[in-house]
Structure 1
C-alpha cells in the first residue's frame, strides 16, 4: 500500500505542478501547496486506517500487551510510521522544486520553505488524527470514515478562515 500511495501522490502532484507551470506560465509552487491538503484529506486516513484497527481485528493487540512496551511507545511508533510515509511523499515532490530552480526565475525560497513546512505539519496533524481514528474501532473501513470526517472538519475550518 505504501508504494501505491507514493506513486499516486507523485502523479497527482506532478500533474498539478505541470498544469499551472505550462498552462499559465507561472514559476511558483502555490498551486501545488493548495492541492496537497486536499490530497491528504483522502490519502492520510487511508494510510492510517489500518495502524491500530488491524491489530485489534487480527487479535495481535493481546500479543503486544505482553511485550515490554508501553502503550505510548506503541502509539508513537505507529504515528511515526505513518508520518514517515507522508514525509517520503513530500520528499518525492521536491523534484518539482528542483525543476523550478532550474527553469524558473525569481523564486521565493522562504515561501517554498514555509510551504513545505506547513504541508509537513499538516501531514503530521492528519496522521495523528488518523491514528486516533484507527484506535477507536477494530474495523478499518470505519476508521477510514472517522478519519476522513475529522480531517474534513480541519480542512473546512482552514478554508473558512482564509
Structure 2
C-alpha cells in the first residue's frame, strides 16, 4: 500500500496535476471570499467562516472527481492495471494507496485555508470573536466529506477506461449523495417526519450538523460507512477483472 501511495504522490507533484489542483482550489476560494462582493468575508458583517464552509463543498464536488478520474481509468486504458494485479499486492492495497494519495492532495489544498481563519480571527471585534467549535467541526466535516468524495471518485474510475466518463460519473454520484436526498426530501410526498429521514441519508445534512460544533458519532459513522462502502465497491470492481 505504501508503495502505491508514494508512487501516486510523486506522480501528482512530478507533473503539474498537484500544483494545478491546489492552485485552482485556492484561487477560486480566494475570489469568492475576498473579491466577489456577494460572498466576500469582508462584507459579511460577522466574524465567521460561514461563506467558506458553504462554498467549499461545491468546489470540492468538481475538484475531487477531477483528481480521481485518472487513478484507475488511465491504468485500465494503458494496461498498467494488469501489471499491478499480477504483483504481490492485494486489491485493498492498491485501492487504499490511491485513496490516501488523493486524500492527501485534497488535505494539502485545504491547509492554506487556515489563513482565512487567521484573517477572520483578527477581524473580529474583539479580536478572536469567532465560533471555535463551529470552525473545528466544519473543518472536520470537510475532511470527512473529502474522504467520501475520493472514495466515490475511485469507484467511478474503476468502472471505465475513459477519464471523462469517470469524471462525469463521479460528479453525478457525488452530486446525488450531497444534494440529491435534500431535493428528494423536499417533494410533497415526504412532508412530515419522512422528509427529515430522507434528508439524513445525504451528506449535506451530516456536514451541516458537524458545522454546528457538535461532533456526533452518528455523523462520523455515516461518513466512515459511506467511504468504506464505495471503497469496497471499488475493490469488487477490480476483483471482477481477475475472472
Q: Identify whether the pair has TM-score above 0.5, normalized to the shorter chain.
A: yes
Cross-structure match for 2:4: none
- What do the CA deviations read for 1:31-90 (whole angstroms, capped 9, x no partner)? 100001110111111000000001111111121122211110000011111111111111
Which residue among 58, 68, 71 is the counterpart of 1:38? 58
Distance 2:60 2:181 in 1: 14
Cross-structure match for 1:137: 160
Cross-structure match for 1:149: 172
Counterparts of residues 2-151 of structure 1 (less than 5 Å)? 2-18=18-34, 19-105=39-125, 106-151=129-174
Gaps of 5+ in 2: 1-16, 184-198, 200-204, 206-243
Range with bigger deviation, 19-28 or 55-64? 19-28
Alignment check: 8 A CA contact 1:49 1:143 kept: yes
Give TM-score, length-normalised by structure 2. Answer: 0.63
Distance 2:169 2:122 in 1: 42
Distance 2:75 2:92 in 1: 15
Higher relative contact order (CA 8 A, sep 6+): 1
Distance 1:150 1:12 in 2: 23
Gaps of 5+ in 1: none
Alignment check: 8 A CA contact 2:41 2:51 kept: no
Cα displacement (A) at 1:121 = 0.5
Change (3 A) 1:92 1:158: farther
Name the Cα RMSD after superposition.
Answer: 1.4
Range with bigger deviation, 62-71 or 38-47? 62-71
Distance 1:27 1:20 in 2: 12
Bigger Rg, structure 1 or 2: 2
